[in-house]
């Protein structure tokens, strides 16, 4: 290894390790009940973000100077069983796709971190917010730089967990918690599809390395060495994973629910980074899409439907954060269409521009009325209300249907609830009923189980401790 390679390896290690160290410090201090002051938390967060960004920028400079387009950072096998050809390869890649996304993540995490410093100043959950935020930052760095699908999955899971926990940040109220749970359900199910895709990919090409799948080509070039049907299978599974993470149709119902979290987390998750992670995954594996026309059609269709439904929904919402969230969905849908059409650079530029704009809009959302008043003061006249929309030429009944479709958020929650959740719950409650019946008949107990529980609770409850619930 020459000096330049060593230099890049060290920089890569710093970029990946600094969020991990940040998370370890914040996590351990909370677990050991040694809380840090707000100032220390903020300083550590700044240090973690700046180190990652600085290292990535230097890697970019090296790449520009040397003309390299792909710099892998190898940490070797985290786990390996050589005889079974099983390995969990820790590999990160700096290339034309990962560097912009990584820098975007660092910049926006830094900006939102600074915003949060004041926004949540002296809040009880300040440290908790930054702990979850560190998990998110870690997840974004791992997902952005992942060179193998296993590494990407690790980051993907961390983003999902932090997202659900931050939505439930105001956890002394029921509504944010329920919404956090709802988002977690969608994430878990779509993550299951991603995991199955990863395993299937392993079986197809014998490894989870993106480079191996793309015949060692460098992004955005590359072709996959799998058959059309295999590409369709893996691609469809990846598409489910991406749709769950990016709130594409039919999973868009969780997007307004996610707005229950504090504004900074809404901005960074659902305006900027997390919502684009699905598109990023499709972009990373875009050569796979070209292997199957059916898969390309699926991507295009999904993107188009998501964009149209997002546009309809964003126009009829009655709160600004939800409206912005659906506007984000529209743009993500368009980005997915661009990926489906093979316009990879355009999609990447679109992601970056959209993420920055939407973060700014969401961070300004709490002061929107004041901003409007400032604007009116400066121009000296009231702003004219939006007089008409492009849908004005459509027949009235169709307009009404569009309104209802948008207002009811595409009926997606209702459909999922009626056709998926309710049958599931009914089936297993029925099983539960049978189990209770068999148990009570076998034990010949005159008491119902609930009574037994109650009696046990009375036996177990200590006399010297309060019953708080």
Among positions 78, 372, 401, 419, the unique one binding another protein when judged by CB under 8 A: 78
Q: CB under 8 A: which stretch of 100-108, 114-122, 256-264, 459-467 binds another protein?
A: 459-467
Q: Output the CA–CA distances (angstroms, integers) from residue 47 to 149, 257, 425, in the order listed.
A: 28, 32, 47
Q: Where are the beta strands (DSSP E) in 134-236?
A: none
Q: Does 394 bind another protein (CB under 8 A)?
A: no
Structural contact between residues 277 and 245, judged by C-beta atoms closer than 8 angstroms: yes
Q: Does 464 bind another protein (CB under 8 A)?
A: yes
Q: CB under 8 A: which stretch of 5-13, 157-165, 257-265, 340-348 binds another protein?
A: 157-165
Q: How many residues bind another protein (CB under 8 A)?
A: 75
Binding to another protein in span 206-245, by CB under 8 A: 206, 230
Residues 255, 260, 265, 267: is their CA dihedral positive or negative?
positive
Among positions 345, 435, 448, 451, the unique one binding another protein when judged by CB under 8 A: 435
Output 241 or 410, the one with its CB closest to another protein.
241
Is residue 47 classed exposed, middle or buried when 0-12, 13-18 and 19+ CB atoms within 10 A define those classes? middle
Among positions 108, 158, 327, 365, the unique one binding another protein when judged by CB under 8 A: 158
Output 37 or 181, the one with its CB closest to another protein.
181
As measured in angstroms, the least distance from the Cβ of 188 to another protein is 5
As measured in angstroms, the least distance from the Cβ of 7 to another protein is 26
Output 124 or 395, the one with its CB closest to another protein.
124
Structure tokens at 95: 């290339």
Q: Does 462 bind another protein (CB under 8 A)?
A: yes
Q: CB under 8 A: which stretch of 27-35, 111-119, 371-379, 406-414 binds another protein?
A: 27-35
Lookup result for tokens 């779509």 = 190
Q: CB under 8 A: which stretch of 36-44, 321-329, 349-357, 453-461 binds another protein?
A: 453-461
Distance CA 309, CA 329 (A): 9
Output 28 or 375, the one with its CB closest to another protein.
28
Binding to another protein in span 170-189, by CB under 8 A: 171-174, 177-178, 180-181, 184-185, 188-189
Neighbours of 207 (CB within 10 A): 17
The residue among 48, 45, 47, 69 whose CA lies nearest residue 59 is: 69
Binding to another protein in span 190-209, by CB under 8 A: 191-192, 195-196, 199-200, 202-204, 206
Output 164 or 339, the one with its CB closest to another protein.
164
Q: Does 168 bind another protein (CB under 8 A)?
A: yes
Distance CA 188, CA 182 (A): 10
Output 84 or 377, the one with its CB closest to another protein.
84
Binding to another protein in span 112-151, by CB under 8 A: 124, 150
Among positions 6, 10, 61, 81, the unique one binding another protein when judged by CB under 8 A: 81
Residues 246, 248, 250, 255: is their CA dihedral positive or negative?
positive
Q: Output 233-237 pairs: Cβ under 8 A, ≥24 positions apart.
A: 233/200, 234/197, 234/200, 234/201, 234/204, 234/288, 235/285, 235/288, 235/289, 235/291, 235/292, 235/295, 235/298, 235/299, 236/295, 236/298, 237/193, 237/194, 237/196, 237/197, 237/200
Structure tokens at 282: 């499709």
As measured in angstroms, the least distance from the Cβ of 324 to another protein is 26
Output 189 or 320, the one with its CB closest to another protein.
189
Distance CA 111, CA 115 (A): 6
Q: What is the DSSP string of 104-119?
A: HHHHHHHHHHHHHHHH
- The DSSP letter of residue 358 is H
């Amino acid at each position: 290894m020459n000096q330049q390679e060593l230099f890049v390896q060290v920089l890569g290690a710093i970029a990946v390790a600094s969020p991990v160290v940040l998370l370890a410090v914040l996590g351990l201090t909370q677990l050991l009940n040694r809380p840090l002051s707000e100032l220390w938390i903020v300083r550590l967060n700044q240090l973690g973000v700046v180190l990652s960004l600085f290292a990535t920028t230097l890697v970019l400079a090296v790449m520009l100077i040397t003309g390299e387009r792909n710099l892998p950072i190898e940490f070797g096998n985290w786990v390996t069983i050589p005889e079974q050809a099983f390995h969990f390869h820790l590999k990160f890649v700096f290339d034309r796709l990962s560097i912009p996304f990584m820098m975007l993540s660092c910049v926006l995490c830094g900006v939102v971190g600074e915003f949060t410093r004041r926004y949540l100043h002296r809040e009880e959950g300040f440290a908790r917010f930054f702990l979850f935020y560190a998990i998110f930052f870690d997840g974004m760095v791992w997902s952005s730089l992942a060179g193998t699908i296993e590494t990407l999955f690790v980051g993907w899971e961390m983003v999902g967990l932090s997202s659900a926990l931050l939505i439930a940040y105001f956890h002394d109220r029921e509504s944010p918690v329920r919404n956090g749970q709802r988002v977690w359900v969608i994430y878990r199910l779509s993550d299951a599809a991603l995991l199955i895709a990863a395993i299937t990919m392993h079986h197809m090409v014998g490894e989870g390395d993106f480079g191996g799948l793309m015949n060692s080509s460098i992004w955005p070039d590359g072709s996959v060495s799998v058959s059309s049907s295999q590409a369709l299978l893996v691609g469809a599974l990846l598409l489910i994973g991406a749709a769950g993470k990016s709130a594409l149709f039919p999973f868009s119902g969780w997007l307004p629910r996610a707005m229950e979290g504090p504004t900074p987390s809404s901005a960074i998750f659902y305006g900027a980074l997390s919502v684009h992670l699905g598109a990023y995954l499709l972009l990373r594996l875009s050569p796979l899409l070209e292997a199957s026309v059916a898969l390309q059609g699926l991507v295009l269709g999904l993107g188009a439907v998501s964009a149209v439904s997002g546009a309809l929904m964003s126009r009829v919402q009655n709160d600004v954060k939800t409206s912005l969230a659906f506007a984000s969905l529209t743009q993500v849908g368009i980005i997915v269409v661009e990926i489906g059409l093979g316009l990879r650079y355009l999609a990447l530029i679109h992601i970056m521009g959209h993420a920055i704009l939407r973060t700014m809009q969401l961070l300004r959302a709490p002061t929107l009325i004041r901003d409007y008043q400032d604007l009116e003061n400066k121009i000296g006249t009231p702003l004219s209300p939006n007089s008409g929309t492009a849908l004005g030429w459509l027949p009235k009944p169709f307009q009404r249907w569009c309104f209802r479709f948008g207002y009811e958020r595409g009926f997606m929650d209702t459909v999922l609830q009626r056709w998926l959740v309710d049958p599931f719950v009914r089936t297993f409650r029925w099983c539960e009923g049978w189990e209770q019946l068999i148990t009570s008949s076998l034990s010949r107990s005159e008491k119902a189980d609930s009574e037994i529980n109650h009696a046990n609770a009375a036996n177990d409850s200590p006399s010297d401790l309060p019953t708080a619930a």
